[in-house]
Structure 1
Amino acid sequence: MTSGDDMTPEEEALLDGIGPIFARLRRRVPASRRDASRNLVLNIVADSRDEMTVGGVAEELGVDQSVASRMVSDCISSGYLLRAASQEDGRRTVLKLTQQGADLRECFAKGQREAFEQITEGWPRRERLQFARLLLRYVEDAALLRERERT
């Protein structure tokens, strides 16, 4: 189904509200701006199928390389990431998650799960799980779309 395919005005309005809703969801992240930035960077590095660079972080976040570099430098100086030589090209520097970074990422994930459970506590169990499955599917499909757009 795409927008305009025999949709009612109510259905169109529902889909039009998705963008602003996702923007509001992004604000419901870890407590501080620094934590939010770290969470984004750590997840990008950990979830990468390929070696991740500062340029790759910038591309994933849709920010300038200088912005991504500051975010990555913060994670490195805090002990959450380290720079390493690429196994594919020794001249290239890649990012690796440290154990401390993995622990912080797990802490963020736990907090986000708690927030999800609090937000949906009045929902029937079936709806809560269905929404979680659909949200995961959405994110996976969005990643596949980004991959197709890159190639």
Structure 2
Amino acid sequence: MTTNDAPQQSPAPQEPTAEELLDAVGPAFGKLRRTSLLEVENPISAKDLSRTLVLNLVLEHTRDSEKEITVGALAGLLGVDPSVASRMVTDNIKAGYLLRAASQHDGRRTVLHLSPAGTALMARFRRHQRSAFEYITADWAEHDRLEFARLMVKYVDSLGRLKERTPAGE
């Protein structure tokens, strides 16, 4: 065998640069929501998946019994027009996941609460998300799985700082 006949070895894959890695974060986050549609334990329909956007925010903002959330506040949190938020809320009410109630602080205001069915859907959604995470990371080292989970939670907890940021040009 001559040197020209030697099998060609492919070069080892190169690690992405810091710039390439940071540029890949946005598209990676865009794909994360799709994991909720994986056919794993506790499947969630695509329609109920979209409903969980609203239910999650209502749940998050009403955990403390003193806090209340209105359709207008929900619109702000979702970054949508109040009429869009109203349609989303109405859809959740018709599906039996949300209830409207008079505010305990101001009877003129209408606030939102999860119904028992909404609470059950969110529990099922959490189980589904965990199943998807466990399925996707099944071949990861346990340390890596837990470190990724810790960093993801830390990242999400840091989102509140976006509200404190001054927009460019102000």
TM bracket, shorter-chain basis: 0.7 to 0.9
C-alpha root-mean-square deviation of aligned residues, in Å? 1.8
Which residue of structure 2 aligns with residue 39 of structure 1? 52
Aligned partner (choices 32, 35, 42) of residue 28 of structure 1 = 35
Q: For residue 60 of structure 1, what is the amino acid of its counterpart?
A: L
Amino acid in the other structure paired with 1:127: D
- Kept in 1, the 8 Å contact 2:100–2:113? The answer is yes
Alignment match of 2:148 (pick from 127, 131, 144):
131
Contact 2:36 2:129 in 1 (8 A): yes
> How many residues of Structure 1 are paired with residues of Structure 2 in the alignment?
141
Q: Residues 90, 79 of structure 1: CA spacing in aligned structure 2 closer, same or farther, 3 A cutoff?
A: same
Structure 1: runs of 5 or more not aligned: 1-8
Q: Does 1:77 align with 2:104?
A: no
- Compare 49-58 and 102-111 and name the one that shifted more: 49-58
| 8 Å contact kept, 2:36–2:132 | no
Distance 2:46 2:73 in 1: 21
Among all aligned residue pairs of Structure 1 and Structure 2, give the percentage whose two residues are the same amino acid.
52
1:11 aligns with: 18
Write out the 4+ residue segments of structure 1 that deviate beyond 6 Å after TM superposition: none
The structure with the largest helix share of the pair is 1
The whole-number CA distance in structure 1 between the counterparts of 2:80 and 2:108 is 24
- Shift in Å, 1:17: 1.2
SS of residue matched to 2:36? coil
Amino acid at match of 1:20: P
Partner of 2:164: 148
CA contact (8 A) 2:55 2:114 kept: yes
Q: Which has the larger radius of gyration?
A: 2
Please name the residue that 1:121 is paired with: 138
Q: Which has the higher relative contact order, 1 or 2, with Cα contacts under 8 A spaced 6 or more apart?
A: 2
